[in-house]
Structure 1
Amino acid sequence: MLEDFPFYLGLIVAIVLLIMLANKIKVAYPVLLVLAGLAISFVPGIPAVHIDPELIFVIFLPPLLYEASWAISWKELWRWRRIISSFAFIVVFLTALSTAFVANHFIPGFSLALGFLLGGIVSPPDAVSAGAILKFVKVPKRMSSILEGESLLNDASSLIIFRFAFIAVATGQFIWQDAALSFSWMLFGGAGIGLGIGLIFMKTHKYLPTDTNTDTALSIVTPYLMYIVAEEFHTSGVLAVVCGGLFLSYKRHFFLNSSSRLRGINVWESLTFVMNGLVFMLIGLDLPEITAGLGDTSINAAIGYGLLITAVLIIGRILSAYGAVIVTLIARNFITVADSRNPGFKVPLILGWTGMRGVVSLAAALSIPVHLDNGVPFPQRNLILFITFIVILSTLLLQGLTLPYLIKKIGLPDVDHATISEEEEDQQLTRQLTGYALSYLKSNYEEELNNQPFLQQVARKWEDKSRSTDQIVLAEEARTIYLDVLDQQRKWLLNKNSEEATLNEEIIRKHLKYLDLEEERLLFL
């Protein structure tokens, strides 16, 4: 392994350069990285790459899911909970079901249980790919929120299906009562373990004398502990990480100081940047090993099976997107829905086209053992691996390259129906926040305001709607008062975000980050 270290170091350099190129030519970087991995795999003398599924499941998956759960808006997740849940659970199950029947009918030697196993592997869309593509085009906030929320949960649901199908293949039987109990334990046990460990870490951050470095180190340990403990109890490690991450993200302003929040964001962005890049590059590099294991199945036939399953996935997701709209339009007559307006045919089409597959699918396929417990070779393992690779590659190339063009071509309607623009909403919030801060300062610190030059300058800055202040000598009393005002502003923003369901949480987070930066600035005054 040590002799291959320069090779992997060179891979990281290549990943950085390719992502820079992808941003330059406005192409989703997972597409370029997979293609580059494919090209590198054919270079003579390149070390053979073997992807250990445990490497992805244990090392890569927990931090990537944890970072995503911190980035998503809990308010948006709750607002669109019905459609997110339907895509993350119902649509994933229907996708696995349709894949099972098609594979059983058209692929020789595929039983229904093997078809469900393949369906569980290829059913979850990859969030990283969709996010990388959507940053180049403008889509309604509603759509991006649904895609982000779905991506947090569909990995867990697909891996649960995969486990049950694997048991059916390995044992030759499937007991519904046991499956229902196991499903309930995986669902609620995983969520409970994630929340419990999250609570422990929150108390650790809050009550122990941690600093910025220890806070960041603990944040890196947290998702791994959630995942490993949940898996040891035979429940869903993915759900544990997602639920624990959402809980800690929602409570971040109650147990982390401004320094830990700001510096932690930088560390996590760099960490996930490298991890995502490595994973997609390794997918391409693994092609020779996957192809070599096909055995008697011809390459052309295996490619055909992969393209057939890809077509099932794409068509099924598009139909599901339109089905979700129809169900919502019917349900609005009986229950309150987040948005009862008809989005037309364009939004479901785009939502259905954002179904690129990625790392979780490959890791699940690789985790299939070579032999069953009785020593018999696992049926169709190599073909399942190859089909999974074709699905990942074809969806990344077909949907990944055409999605930006499709969005621009059809012209998405403004389904968010915002009464004011995002910029106007930002300015309005700034005025309200400034007014609240001035009122609090004048009513609680009137005497100090008359005696402290710094507080006077801050008040004038707020009155002028300016963001800059000159460096002046700051008395300790003024520092304490200013920190109190900043804390009150932070509480006001959090309360306003909770009270106004339609308020864009990204704007709230921007102002909260500004308050953290302002608090950090006091260290140098």
Structure 2
Amino acid sequence: MHTQLPFLLAMIVAIVLLNMLANKLKIAYPILLVVAGLLVGFLPGLPMVRIDPDLIFFIFLPPLLFEASWTISFKEMKKWWRIIGSFAFLVVFFTASSVAVVAHHFIPGFTIALGFLLGGIVSPPDAVSTGAITKFVKIPKGTSAILEGESLLNDASSLIIFRFALVAVGTGQFFWQQAAISFLWMVLGGVAIGLLLAWIFVQAHKRLPLDAQSNIALTLIEPYFMYWLAEQFHCSGVLAVVSGGLYLSAKRLVFLNSTSRIQSFSVWESFVFILNGIVFLIIGLELPEIVEGMREKGIPLRTAIGSGVLITGVLIAARVISSYAALLATFIFRPGVMPRARSKKRRWLMPMLLGWTGMRGVVSLAAALAIPITLDNGAAFPQRNLILFITFIVILLTLVVQGLTLPSIISRSGLFEGLMEEEPEELTRRKMKQGLKQHVYQFLKNKYETELNGHAGMEKLLKLWEERAKAADDTWMNEKTKVIFVELLETQRQYLTELNKDPKIDEDIIRQQLYQIDLEEERLRII
């Protein structure tokens, strides 16, 4: 342990340095992480870091999915639920099936069950990687919401395929009727358990005398407990975490105070960032052993690389085909919601671009590492090292090739120039702030009109919201005006919550303003 701890700390330092370099180069940090994971495997003398495959999912997936469900806009997910649902479930099944058929026919030693196992691992695009890459280019909010929502939900469907394929590989049998019943139970049971536990956690946050540190500590425990309990009932732990996380995110203003919300944002962002980096570096540390295992099985490195390139091509082709199928289905059945573009050429080029956004990442890595080393009968798990190697090649190629070219393709093609129908962000922000100030001013004037005359503090408070002039000092903020000021902040939150129901308003802007209100409340506490 004493020899491993300095190395683990060095890994975290390396992750931080790689993120600094990525920001300087203006590329997504997962790209540098996967390249570093490849290079670190060739460094001599590094210790082996092994994690029990049974613990991989439990350690890494719950917090990653929980954090993603807190940051996504549920309003946008509801707006685009049809296409998100089709990409998260139908496209994942189509992609996994395509990988299974190709792997069975073209990769020696792969059964159809092993093909579905590999398909379940590499099917889901990664939410973190997609978000990190698209932040460098301007894309419509609808497209961004589709990519984020799909990346959040497709983890559940792909990992259900992964679990069924593991059983099929271990037993050599697969019963479709039993699988269909199990699938329904995993989905419905997982969602129900996640929502039930989320409601219980909300009540605990509200009723227990918790401070900010205790609130944050409890949020760190919650995704693990949701995942564990769902798995005990043989449900989808992933869906439990996602559904519970979405519920808690919607209720965050109810059970967390401003201090907890501000501090938890930084804690969770740093925690998830470190987890992502560790997974990429762990696979790099295991690469030499993986390559050696393939060599012992008589699998040449060139053949394994070729298999990885082949599967990557299948994934990209399946996603592009699915994108065009979705556009064609929309054109036939719901032409009123067809994406608008300046020309038909641009409209039919958009699915190609959507197909190019399928970067794989940490969920695929975690799933591959979670493959057991041996079967129940003690025999070595077939093709484990080759599956791990192919998964790494897929992630490497999709992140480096697609990830590096995607921003350039979007900016140079001009595909989104005619699609930016949303109000310019700065104009939306100005309108929101103007409405917010008017709302607060009217609230003050109507409720405290009788207290304004002759009260210097109240007069300054009214003037502050009438003109937003900066006060010379905070001596006017006595206990009475402080209570009123806190009430003003709360009414602003209520106003923004109602404003968020407008489908034309970007939820990210609302959340940014809510964060500023939390900061204002924290400043008020120390006056």
Counterpart in the other structure of 2:437:
434
- Give unpaired runs (5+ residues) of structure 1: none
TM-score w.r.t. length of structure 1:
0.95
**SS of residue in 1 equivalent to 2:85:** helix
Structure 2 distance, partners of 1:352, 1:465, is: 48
> In the alignment, what sits opposite 1:244?
244
Q: Residues 126 and 151 of structure 1 are in contact (CA less than 8 Å); yes or no, is this contact kept in structure 2?
A: yes
Q: Does 1:355 align with 2:358?
A: yes
Label 1:458 to 1:284 Cα distance change in 2 as closer, same or farther (>3 A): farther
1:515 deviation in Å?
1.7
Distance across 2 between alignment mates of 1:166 and 1:485: 56
- Structure 2: where are the runs of 5+ without partners? none
Measure, in 2, the Cα distance between the counterparts of 1:51 and 1:468.
57
Return the alpha-carbon distance in structure 2 between the equivalents of residues 516 and 368 of structure 1: 44
Who is 1:110 aligned against? 110
User: Do the aligned partners of 1:346 and 1:410 also contact (CA within 8 Å) in 2?
Assistant: no
- Asked if the contact 1:142–1:416 (Cα under 8 Å) also holds between the matched residues in 2, the reply is no
Deviates more, 1:31-40 or 1:142-151: 31-40
1:338: Cα distance to partner? 8.5
**What is the Cα deviation at residue 86 of structure 1?**
0.8
Kindly report which structure 2 residues correspond to 1:308-323, keeping only aligned pairs within 5 A, or say none.
Answer: 308-323=310-325
**How far apart in 1 are the matches of 2:373 and 2:433?**
60
Task: Give me the whole-angstrom Cα distance separating, in 2, the residues matched to 1:429 and 1:505.
Answer: 12
* 2:68 counterpart of 1:68: yes
Change (3 A) 1:454 1:268: farther
Q: 1:305 aligns with which of 304, 307, 315?
A: 307
Corresponding residue for residue 415 of structure 2: 412
| Contact 2:57–2:370 (8 Å) recurs in 1 | no
CA displacement 1:399-442 (0-9 Å, x = unmatched): 12221222222123246543631111111111111111111111
Q: Match of 1:28, as an amino acid?
A: A
> What is the CA–CA distance in structure 1 between the aligned matches of 2:266 and 2:255, rounded to whole Å?
18
In 2, the alpha carbon distance for the partners of 1:81 and 1:469 equals: 50
**Counterparts in 2 of 1:271-350, with a 5 A limit?**
271-294=271-294, 295-333=297-335, 337=337, 344-350=347-353
Match status 1:369 vs 2:372: yes
Alignment partner, residue 266 of structure 1: 266
Is 1:283–1:359's contact at 8 Å kept on the other side of the alignment?
no
CA–CA distance in structure 2, aligned partners of residues 502 and 46 of structure 1: 53
Any idea what the Cα deviations from partners look like across 1:106-163, whole Å, max 9, x if unmatched?
A: 1122222221111111111111111111122222211211111111111110010111
Q: Which of 68-77 and 479-488 deviates more?
A: 479-488
Which residue pairs with 1:99 in the alignment? 99
Change (3 A) 1:449 1:280: farther
Deviation sequence 1:24-57 (CA, Å, 0-9, x none) = 0112211212222222221221112334434431
CA separation of 1:496 and 1:280: change in aligned 2, threshold 3 A: same
Equivalent residue runs for 1:141-160 within 5 Å: 141-160=141-160
d(CA) in 2 for partners of 1:415, 1:179: 45
Match of 2:231 in 1: 231
- The aligned counterpart of 1:379 is 382
Equivalent of 1:483 in 478, 481, 486: 486
Q: Distance in 2 between matches of 1:419 and 1:391?
A: 35
Deviations 1:227-270 (A, max 9, x none): 11111111111111110000000011111111111111121112
Evaluate the alpha carbon distance shift between residue 84 and residue 469 of structure 1 in structure 2; reply closer, same or farther with a 3 A threshold: farther
Bigger Cα displacement from structure 2, 44-53 vs 25-34? 44-53
SS in 1 for 2:120: helix
1:417 and 1:410 map into 2 onto residues whose CA distance is: 14
Q: AA paired with 1:155?
A: D
The percent of aligned pairs where both chains have the same amino acid is 57
Give 1:466 deviation, angstroms.
5.0
Alignment of 1:508 with 2:513, yes or no, is: no
Greater mean alpha carbon deviation, residues 408-417 or residues 171-180: 408-417
In 1: Cα distance, 2:171 partner to 2:84 partner? 33
Residues 185, 400 of structure 1: alpha-carbon distance in 2 compared, 3 angstrom cutoff? same
Output the CA distance in 1 between the equivalents of 2:169 and 2:220. Answer: 36
Match of 2:209 in 1: 209
* Mean CA deviation greater in 340-349 or 12-21: 340-349
Partner Cα distance (2:376, 2:259) in 1: 52
Structure 2 residue identity aligned to 1:330: I
Question: Aligned-residue CA RMSD in angstroms?
Answer: 1.9
Q: Under a length normalisation based on structure 2, what TM-score does the superposition of the two structures give?
A: 0.95
Residue 422 of structure 1 corresponds to which residue in structure 2? 425
Contact 1:452 1:478 in 2 (8 A): no
Which amino acid in 2 is paired with 1:246?
L
Correspondence for 2:26: 26
Task: Verify: 1:471 aligned to 2:487, yes or no.
Answer: no
User: 2:519 is aligned with what amino acid?
Assistant: L
1:514 and 1:454, CA in 2 relative to 1: closer, same or farther beyond 3 A?
Answer: farther
- Give the drift of 1:340: 7.0
Q: Give the superposition deviation at 1:381.
A: 2.2
Tell me how far apart the structure 1 counterparts of residues 235 and 480 of structure 2 sit (CA, whole Å).
52
Could you report, residue by residue, the CA deviation over 1:335-385 in whole angstroms, capped at 9, with x for unpaired residues? x74967777134322221111112222222222223322333332222222
* Pairs within 5 Å for 1:169-208: 169-208=169-208
Greater shift, 341-350 or 61-70, is seen at 341-350
Please give the secondary structure, in 1, of the residue aligned with 2:65.
helix
* 1:370–1:381 contact (8 Å) kept in structure 2: yes
Aligned residue-pair number: 522
Secondary structure of 1:293's aligned partner = helix
The CA distance in 2 between the partners of 1:417 and 1:390, in whole Å, is: 35
Single out whichever of 268-277 and 215-224 deviates more from structure 2. Answer: 268-277
- Post-superposition offset of 1:479: 1.7
SS in structure 2 opposite 1:345? Answer: helix
SS in 2 for 1:286: helix
Distance 1:399 1:186 in 2: 33
Give me the whole-angstrom Cα distance separating, in 1, the residues matched to 2:307 and 2:115. 12
4+ residue stretches of structure 1 with deviation over 6 A?
340-343
More off after superposition, 317-326 vs 470-479: 470-479
Task: Return 169-178 or 459-468, whichever deviates more.
Answer: 459-468
Q: 1:339 to 1:434 in 2, by over 3 A?
A: farther
Instruction: Say which SS state the counterpart of residue 347 (structure 2) adopts.
Output: coil
